[in-house]
Chain A
Amino acid sequence: MKAFVAALLFAAIVAVGVSILLNTIQQPSSVAFTTEGVRVGDPGHNLIGPG
Chain B
Amino acid sequence: MASFGRFIRLAVGACAFLLVIAASAPCNAQQVNPTASSVKEQQLLQELNRIQGRVSIPDQRSGVLEQPAGRDWREFHNVTLRWIGGIAILGIIAVMVIFYLTRGMVRLESGRSGRTIVRFTAFERFVHWMTATCFIVLAISGLNITFGRPLLLPLIGFEAFSEWSQWAKYAHIYLSFPFTIGVVLIFLMWIAGNIPNKVDVDWLKRGGGIVGHDHPPAYRFNAGQKAIYWIVVLGGGAVAVTGYALMFPFYLSGIEGMQLAQVVHSIVAVLFIAAMLAHIYIGTVGMEGAFEAMGTGEVDLNWAREHHSLWVEEEQAKGQAPSGGTPKAMPAE
Contact = CB atoms under 8 A, between A and B. Distances in A.
Contacts of B178: 10-11, 14-15
Contact of B166 (A3, A33, A48): A48
B174 A16 contact: yes
A48 B126 CA distance: 35
Classify chain B's interface size.
Answer: 20 to 34
B125 A4 contact: yes
B240 to A, nearest CB: 14
Contacts of B179: 11
A33 to B, nearest CB: 5
A19 B127 CA distance: 21
B170 interface: yes
Given A11-B133, A11-B134, A3 B125 contact: yes
B108 to A, nearest CB: 23
Given A3-B122, A3-B129, A15 B175 contact: yes
Contacts, number: 51
Nearest to B247: A22
A16 B56 CA distance: 39
A45 to B, nearest CB: 14
Given A8-B129, A15-B177, A38-B57, 16 more contacts: A3-B122, A3-B125, A3-B297, A4-B129, A6-B126, A7-B125, A7-B126, A11-B130, A11-B178, A14-B177, A15-B175, A18-B174, A33-B59, A35-B58, A48-B166, A48-B169
Given A33-B58, A33-B59, A35-B58, A3 B174 contact: no
A13 to B, nearest CB: 8
Contacts of A7: 125-130, 133
Interface of B: 56-59, 122-123, 125-130, 133-134, 166, 169-171, 174-175, 177-179, 181, 297
A35 to B, nearest CB: 5
Contacts of B133: 7-8, 11
Nearest to B248: A26
A33 B174 CA distance: 24
Interface residues of A, number: 18
B70 to A, nearest CB: 20
25 contacts: A2-B122, A3-B122, A3-B125, A3-B297, A4-B125, A7-B125, A7-B126, A7-B127, A7-B128, A7-B129, A7-B133, A8-B129, A10-B126, A10-B130, A10-B178, A11-B134, A11-B175, A11-B178, A14-B177, A15-B175, A18-B174, A18-B177, A35-B58, A37-B56, A38-B58
Contacts of B177: 14-15, 18
A5 to B, nearest CB: 9
Contacts of A11: 130, 133-134, 175, 178-179
A38 B60 CA distance: 13
Residue of A2, A3, A6, A16 with most chain B CB atoms under a 10 A cut-off? A3
B21 to A, nearest CB: 57
Contacts of A16: 174
A19 to B, nearest CB: 5
Nearest to A32: B58
Contact of B170 (A2, A14, A19, A33): A19
A43 B123 CA distance: 46
Nearest to A18: B177
A14 B174 CA distance: 8
Contacts of A6: 126
